[in-house]
Amino acid sequence: MRVLGVDPGLTRCGVGVVDGVAGRPLRMIGVGVIRTPADAPIGDRLVEIERGLEEWLEAHRPEVVAVERVFSQHNVQTVMGTAQASAVAMLCAARRGLPVALHTPSEVKAAVTGSGRADKAQVGSMVTRLLRLDAPPKPADAADALALAICHIWRAPAMNRLQQAVAAHRTTKGRIS
């Protein structure tokens, strides 16, 4: 499975592509950051993020896009920017008919490090080890994007089984035995 991980942000939007399946060694295909100037109008910044994401989607042809789920923070302006960049990522994926998976920061941290409270350095260190890289990807947004892709690869089989079980339960629930 090839997954494009997106760590959404207006100033720095981390992107990373990982190939692999659960239980086998993973391979990094690419990693980077889409940057926009903080003083540019919001519309221009969103267009720049969209262009960057489209380039990554075209170049790497992922099967799934994993995006960090926006969660409440203390800074409303930061949350808004993150949500807007996240929506652009979902839109780009939907335009191509790609499924989108949303993962919370704590889910990603737990999947990659074993602790949902891991710090950025721990995530970067584990991404480096799991992908057999020479050094942690910089900035942290790039490492976070790879962590999202890894998280999805590892969680997808369990998530699919759960969705199938729920669907089967719904179809049999209405039947009379």
Each domain of the chain, given as residue ranges in start order, spans 2-173
Q: Which residue has the higher pLDDT, 6 or 78?
A: 6
The single residue of 68, 119, 134, 144 carrying the catalytic annotation is 68
Q: Token pair for residue 107?
A: 């889910």
Banded pLDDT at 73 (limits 50, 70, 90): low
The CATH code belonging to domain 2-173 is 3.30.420.10
58 is an active site residue? no
Rounded to an integer, the average pLDDT of 61-80 is: 87
Cβ-based neighbours of 111, under 8 Å, separated by 6 or more: 103, 147, 150, 151, 154, 155
Does residue 146 have a pLDDT over 70?
yes
User: Does pLDDT of 65 surpass 90?
Assistant: yes
Place of tokens 């540019």: 40
What's the pLDDT tens digit per position in 80-89?
989 999 999 9
Q: What was the pLDDT predicted at 30?
A: 98
User: Minimum mean pLDDT among 108-112, 129-133, 160-164: which range?
Assistant: 160-164
The verdict on whether 144 is a catalytic residue reads no
Residue 39 annotated as lining a ligand binding site: no
More confident residue, 165 or 82: 82
**Residue 174 pLDDT more than 90?**
no
Active-site residue, 68 included: yes
172 pLDDT tier (thresholds 50, 70, 90)? confident
Asked if pLDDT for residue 177 goes beyond 70, the answer is: no
Q: What per-residue confidence (pLDDT) applies to 95? A: 98
- Residue 170: pLDDT band by 50, 70, 90 thresholds? confident
- Consult the annotation and say whether 55 binds a ligand: no
Q: Where does the pLDDT of residue 49 fall: very low under 50, low under 70, confident under 90, or very high at 90 and above?
A: very high
